Amino acid sequence: MKSFEELLLKSKTHYLWMRDIESNLPDSQSAKYGLVHRALEKQTLIRLTKGIYLIGQPYKQRAPDLFEVSCLMYPFSYVSMQSSLSYWNWIPERAYTTTSVTTNRSHTIENALGKFTYFKTPKINFFYGVNHMDSSSETSYLLARPWKAFADLIDWSAKAYKNLEDVEEDLRIEKESMLEHGLQDLRFLSENYSKGRVRVVLKNLLKELVQCL
């Protein structure tokens, strides 16, 4: 059986689950919770959500990736809407809340790292337009490509943009940015996104953007 410090030192990820503590330590249940409580006070563990902790210094040095944390905390979700559009430089504003969509119920999680919101959407074509992102810093998460993030944002905000000008004025997304990423995803989503209201908006944009090519 491992010691609590060994669990922190030898973890292959930057995260620790309560189930790992329960299955690897010989202590009583109350003693295990005591270890977690003291680690939280010292910030060698940082609580993300129920049963999931971020391993802090001195055991892990890398700053957490908020997109990775978002996907980790809530299964069957991917980063989308404002967070994704900001990542792809479609909108100028930095997204201070990490926004995601999910097939589970809508949910909000707040912890020491920030605020994470999850918007429920149907399962139809849920993962279309979503990339699995890996980086040199060992982070891994699911991120919507720009057009999928835009479609999800229309769905969430319930806005019915009539034309390209409406989008440019409200979201400050430039036409050039839209064309840089191509129209393949837009074409697919305009025919296959789960909500008819969203499809109408996307079809109108597609007609205008095709004329700009």
Q: What is the pLDDT of residues 31-58, one digit of tens each?
A: 778 888 888 999 889 999 999 999 988 8
pLDDT at 3 over 50: yes
For helices 196-212 and 146-157, what crossing angle results, to 10°? 140
- The whole model's pTM is what? 0.91
The verdict on domain 4-55 having CATH code 3.90.25 is: no
What is the distance between the alpha carbons of residues 97 and 107, in angstroms, rounded to a whole number?
13
pLDDT in tens, 147-192: 999 999 999 998 888 899 999 999 999 889 999 989 999 999 999 9
CB atoms closer than 10 angstroms to residue 174: 15
User: What mean pLDDT is predicted for residues 87-103?
Assistant: 90
pLDDT: is 31 or 69 the higher one?
69
Q: What pLDDT score does 1 carry? A: 46
Task: Select the more confidently predicted residue: 137 or 23.
Answer: 23
Q: Is the pLDDT of residue 16 over 80?
A: yes
- Cα separations in angstroms, 177 against 126, 180, 183, 195: 24, 5, 11, 24
- Residue 111 bridge partners (DSSP): 114
The first and second tokens of residue 165, run together, are: 């000008």
In this prediction, residue 132 has a pLDDT band, given cuts at 50, 70 and 90, of: very high
Q: What is the pLDDT of residue 80?
A: 97
Confidence at residue 11, expressed as pLDDT on a 0 to 100 scale: 80
- Which residue ranges make up each domain of the chain? 4-55, 66-212
In sequence order, what are the beta bridge partners of 119? Answer: 101
Q: Is 151 exposed, middle or buried (0-12, 13-18, 19+ CB in 10 A)?
A: buried
pLDDT at 63: 81
> In the chain, what percentage of residues exceed pLDDT 70?
97
